[in-house]
Structure 1
Amino acid sequence: MGARPVDVRIDEFIAPLNKVQRVLCVGLNFTDHAAEVGAELPTYPTIFTKFGNALIGPGEAIELPAESTKIDWEVELCAVVGRRGRHIAEDQVDDYLLGYTVLNDVSVRDWQGRTSEWFQGKNWDRMTPFGPVIVSPDELDIAGGLAMTCTVDGEVRQQGTTANMVFTPAQVVSYISTFMTLEPGDLIALGTPAGVGLSLRPRKWLGPGQTVVTSIEGIGTLTNRCEQV
């Protein structure tokens, strides 16, 4: 006799990876987001970095620093590197990826705008949720358009689709691998659609006690509460 099926319920997710050291991010990679901030579409991917200190998992608190009240949300599709690679051809990128997850590129806008480099607005401790799971590339129709949403206390702030990317995941991964070796566990955040707080009128920012929910079709949902530190 075969084994009887067992119902399994998952009550809590944790970050799908630990000890991540590098998060490579692409700015202005959605046509609608570039339009809302008044930027021209880039000729090449605009790359900036986050580090592991910024990451938290599903259900963990986004720690709002006392040094700023201009904290913004950005729902992003995030590629997870699964195999070491350099000079990866676009048609081979899927062979080097473990899969895709959801990332919320929470940004400290006033610090981000202090200089032409975005680093100091993107690397605050414990402000970047990612998860809840990693889905293999063959299960997702990214080019066809996966729905991307972000809500704050139930109010829709972002509602976009991966079909509006300027550079595809394959183009981004191949481009980055031209000048650096990608390692297993590297995260590559692929940009955000329109609807960030910086572009709203009046502008809106995250505050203590608010709950941010970021979702991507076919992957899942991240829910994180904001707490003042």
Structure 2
Amino acid sequence: MRLVTYERAGVVAPGALLPGGDVLDLAEVLDDGGAPARDHDLTALLAAGALPRARALVEAAEAALAAGVAAGAGSVGAVHPIAEVRLLAPVRPGKLLCIGYNYRGHEADGQVADPEFPDVFVKTANTVVGPQDAVVVPRASGNVDYEAEVGIVVGSRCHEVDEAEALDHVAGYTIVNDVSARDWQGRTSQWALGKSFDTFAPLGPALVTTDEVGDPHALEVTLRHNGRLTVSSSTARMVFSMAFLVSYLSQVMTLEPGDVIATGTPQKLPEALAAPAPMRPGDVVEITVSRLGTLRTAVVAPSHPDPSGAARAGRPR
């Protein structure tokens, strides 16, 4: 399944992308015996353990549509044309945990051997935006960069889970652009400020469930900056596996439904490293991961005025 959170007519709900591209409403899986729950996102669906019911609805809708039943018919459920909805971040993670230097060929300065342990940092909640939102380049930074990452989406609570069982707690995967202000990142040994400007974590376009993804270590990862290919690699080059990362982090903290683990970025291609090009207003960054889709993000200038009359970085809805 390709699961989303969407907004339509001011109401937020979980949904599923159907083969034709329309969105099947999944609010009824959160029905508590009354009307379907509204203003709940995909995180609420995961927390309720409602993935099996969602799957049943999606399979029924796909079968009905294949048989020629009109979209929106009672047997199909509410189906909305993709043009009539706004896709939000698939989940609103309580924790957005990130891994540095997790691809061979993308090592810390002077390091050539695989690290013994993952390099873990966090991005704060204000960074998360959806696949139709823009990244705002703040005036405070002159070196804003992109990173193409596969995000693990936790599906069920786990703590101190064994590596062999870790992926049982994963709902699926999404794409993360770990936007980074390199100048702020380099100011201290802690990366949090450089990673946590508003809008610095586009997610999406969907959560693709584990059964549809298959082997998460056989995914091609590419990034194009204004059409120029700057990243091209495979998750097969990861140092620490998806299962290891879930297990390792769960030794420290309880992982909750909707939490996201951004699994690191591959190194840029040599020609991109030789001619660095920070993100500027007007740019477009497209991250494509096989079986997950493409996360396309526009880059914009700050828009909100401050008391001095200059524009202050604002966050798009």
The reply to whether residue 185 of structure 1 matches residue 240 of structure 2 is: no
Q: What is the CA-CA distance between 1:14 and the residue it aligns to?
A: 2.5
Distance 1:191-1:174 versus aligned 2 partners, 3 A rule? same
Counterpart for residue 10 of structure 1: 82
Given candidates 190, 200, 203, the residue that maps to 1:117 is 190
Aligned residue for 1:33, secondary structure, equals coil
Counterpart for residue 207 of structure 2: 134
TM-score of the two chains, using structure 2 as the length reference: 0.67
Alignment of 1:83-122 (within 5 A): 83-122=156-195
Q: What is the CA-CA distance between 1:202 and the residue it aligns to?
A: 2.8
Given candidates 201, 217, 227, the residue that maps to 2:274 is 201
The letter of the residue matching 1:134 is L
Q: State the superposition RMSD in angstroms.
A: 1.9
Distance 1:105 1:196 in 2: 17
The reply to whether residue 61 of structure 1 matches residue 134 of structure 2 is: yes
Q: Is the 8 A contact 1:73 1:196 kept in 2?
A: no
The letter of the residue matching 1:72 is D
Larger Rg: 2
Q: Is the 8 A contact 2:149 2:264 kept in 1?
A: yes
Counterpart for residue 216 of structure 1: 289
Q: What is the CA-CA distance between 1:162 and the residue it aligns to?
A: 0.3
Counterpart for residue 111 of structure 2: 39
Counterpart for residue 158 of structure 1: 231
Q: Is the deviation greater in 134-143 or in 76-85?
A: 134-143
TM-score of the two chains, using structure 1 as the length reference: 0.91
Distance 2:230 2:291 in 1: 20
Distance 2:206 2:301 in 1: 27
> Structure 1 stretches of 5 or more lacking a match?
none
The letter of the residue matching 1:13 is L
Q: What is the CA-CA distance between 1:179 and the residue it aligns to?
A: 1.3
Counterpart for residue 78 of structure 1: 151
Aligned residue for 2:274, secondary structure, equals coil
Q: Is the 8 A contact 1:72 1:196 kept in 2?
A: no
Distance 1:196 1:228 in 2: 27
Distance 1:200 1:153 in 2: 16
> Structure 2 stretches of 5 or more lacking a match?
1-63, 72-78, 303-317
Q: Is the 8 A contact 1:74 1:196 kept in 2?
A: no
Q: What is the CA-CA distance between 1:216 and the residue it aligns to?
A: 0.7
Q: What is the CA-CA distance between 1:142 and the residue it aligns to?
A: 1.9
Q: What is the CA-CA distance between 1:56 and the residue it aligns to?
A: 0.7
Q: What is the CA-CA distance between 1:210 and the residue it aligns to?
A: 0.3
Aligned residue for 1:175, secondary structure, equals helix
1:8-62 per-residue CA deviation (whole Å, 9 max, x = no partner) reads 75335322123x2310001000002227x54343110111001210011102110
Q: What is the CA-CA distance between 1:68 and the residue it aligns to?
A: 0.9
Q: Which has the higher contact order (CA 8 A, sep 6+)?
A: 1
Q: What is the CA-CA distance between 1:190 and the residue it aligns to?
A: 0.3
Alignment of 1:21-36 (within 5 A): 21-34=94-107
